[in-house]
Amino acid sequence: MREVDVTRESQVAEWAEELENEDALPDLLINNAAVINRSAPLWEVPVDEFHELVDVNVSGVYHMTRHFVPRMIARGEGVIVNFSSTWGKTVAAKVAPYCATKWAIEGLTKALALEIPEPLAAIAVNPGVINTDMLQSCFGEGAKAFPTAATWVEKAVSFLLEVGREQNGMSLDIP
Listed by start position, the domains of the chain span: 9-129+160-173
Q: What is the pLDDT of residue 65?
A: 98
C-alpha torsion 87→89→126→58, nearest 10: -70
Per the document, the length of the chain is 175
Contact 7, 55 (CB under 8 A): yes
Q: What is the pLDDT of residue 124?
A: 98
Q: What is the pLDDT of residue 149?
A: 72
> What is the rounded distance in angstroms from the CA atom of residue 114 to the CA atom of residue 121?
9
Closest among 67, 86, 81 to 161, alpha carbons compared: 81
Phi, psi values for residue 101, rounded to 5°: -70, -35
Helical axes 47-54 vs 96-115, angle rounded to 10°: 20
Contact 56, 40 (CB under 8 A): no
Return per-residue pLDDT of the chain as tens, 175 residues: 689 999 999 999 999 999 999 999 999 999 998 999 999 999 999 999 999 999 999 999 999 999 999 999 999 999 999 999 988 999 999 999 999 999 999 999 999 999 999 999 999 999 876 666 666 666 667 667 777 777 878 889 999 999 999 999 999 999 8
Q: What share of the chain is helix, strand, coil (3-state, %, to 5)?
A: 55, 10, 35
**Architecture of the domain whose range is 9-129+160-173:** 3-Layer(aba) Sandwich (3.40)
| Partners of 29 in the β-ladder | 80
What is the pTM (predicted TM-score) of this model? 0.90
Which residues are part of the catalytic machinery?
98
Neighbour tally for 26: CB within 10 Å:
14
Residue 55 Ramachandran class (φ > 0 left, ψ -120 to 50 alpha, else beta): alpha
> What is the rounded distance in angstroms from the CA atom of residue 150 to the CA atom of residue 142?
18
